[in-house]
Amino acid sequence: MRCVIGLFIALLPPSGAFAPHNVTACDGHAYHPGPATARGRLLTDPNQGCQPWSRDWETTSTFISQAALEAGRQSVKLMYAAYLFEYSEKATVGIHAEAAQAKQTLIENGAVAYREVDEGEGPQGFFGPWYDDGSLTGTPQKIYVLGFAGSNDKKDWSYANAGSWCAKGIDLGRRGRMFGAAAGFVDFYVEVMDGKGGKPGLRQAIDAVADSFANTPVVVVGHSMGGALGALGATEMALRYNAAVLLRTAGAPRVFQKWGEKYGNSARDVQQGWNDDGSWSGPPGSHPEVFLWTGPDQHSSDRYSDHPRDYGLRVPPNGYVRTQRWVNYNDNVPSVPPCNTGWFHVGDGGYLLLDPVGWLSLYGWAQHQDYTPYAGGLPYANHPLGKYWDRLSTAKRNCATYNRC
């Protein structure tokens, strides 16, 4: 399994107020799928298999709104900026030029990155203020952006991705208990946040402005592996810092463990709450959920009866996370690590960019929570971040032209 997952993703293009993370050793015996008859149960079942789904849903689900599509585009631009903080690249047209300008604006605003540009291999992230014109959050306001670069070099592919075949426990701010998450992603997240080898992580910058999170939301972005790190970051920002968090990812793999002997059903806990004593008596438990949602087959926008087609656009209350998890047809990365070996997507459903009969029919479609897209013989053709930018742009244009959103 370790080699298989590594091969899948290796094919892809490319101290503060709180103590550093407490992380356990990799647990290679975390999974117990149980008999085949246990497959398809609800997320509350600790021995569940993969969440049931119907491919027919792809043609009957609701179109995603134009405002939500634009929020996705702007988030992808910031995801690309995370790559430009890691390696120098000449900006030309399209997303390259816009992301380069976004990076320059972030620097002028005072954003900091974990590593210097072209410093070498390994994980990268940035944190800093951004002044939203309303396209990211639906309201013009100051926000903070926490961004993580995806797989971009040999160390990313061989260590973080291939090392995510088993679970590690990580302290993300819940009282006395750890979450089980994919080990390689945990290690890279901890490095970016807490530093390594004398190099400080991003936590110092985050702690310096932590008091402002009461009134200033945080948008967390990441593509591919960066999306997995982003899910950990969004959870910690909500739990440890009580921030109001929007998590935006594109082509992100699974990161949270859904069953395990050491850490239990972490995917369930972040979405349905938990009891501080470790027991489980059903939601909401003694601590409410972190990720807003209403069930495996529904969307967190259902919580906003005054705006039911919000689709991850608006900022949640403090201490919570709302998500946009964008997935492309012909992008298999969201399928790993596999759900039937102990992993589950969290947050809102997958937001699918699907074009069943060609680019004129490309729209954004809301799908179920653990949704992973089809691959029509080219399993990673649409994984590059530029593909997400182009397809979100087309979906937004089709939405406006044909009023199907």
**Phi, psi (degrees; rounded to nearest 5) at 347:** 90, -155
What confidence category does residue 191 fall into, taking pLDDT thresholds of 50, 70 and 90? very high
Cβ–Cβ under 8 Å, residues 138 and 309: no
Range in 50-54, 160-164, 310-314 with the lowest mean pLDDT: 50-54
- 36 vs 160, higher pLDDT: 160
pTM of the model: 0.87
Please tell me whether residue 364 adopts helix, strand or coil conformation. Answer: strand
Model pLDDT for residues 38-65, shown as the tens digit of each residue: 222 334 333 344 554 444 445 455 678 8
- Mean pLDDT over residues 173-185, rounded? 87
Query: What are the distances in angstroms from CA 270 to CA 225, 244, 259?
Result: 20, 15, 13
- Is the pLDDT confidence value at 13 over 50? no
Closest CA to 85 of 150, 159, 16, 160: 150
Instruction: Name, of 81-95, 342-356, 358-372, 390-404, the range with top average pLDDT.
Output: 390-404
- Mean pLDDT over residues 278-306, rounded? 58
- Is the pLDDT confidence value at 299 over 50? no
Please tell me whether residue 6 adopts helix, strand or coil conformation. Answer: helix
Q: What per-residue confidence (pLDDT) applies to 147? A: 98
Cβ–Cβ under 8 Å, residues 270 and 346: yes
CATH architecture of 2-402: 3-Layer(aba) Sandwich (3.40)
- Mean pLDDT over residues 277-282, rounded? 65
CA atoms within 13 A on the CB side of 61: 28
Question: Distance between CA atoms of 113 and 127, rounded to whole angstroms?
Answer: 7
Model pLDDT for residues 209-249, shown as the tens digit of each residue: 999 999 999 999 999 999 999 999 999 999 999 999 999 99
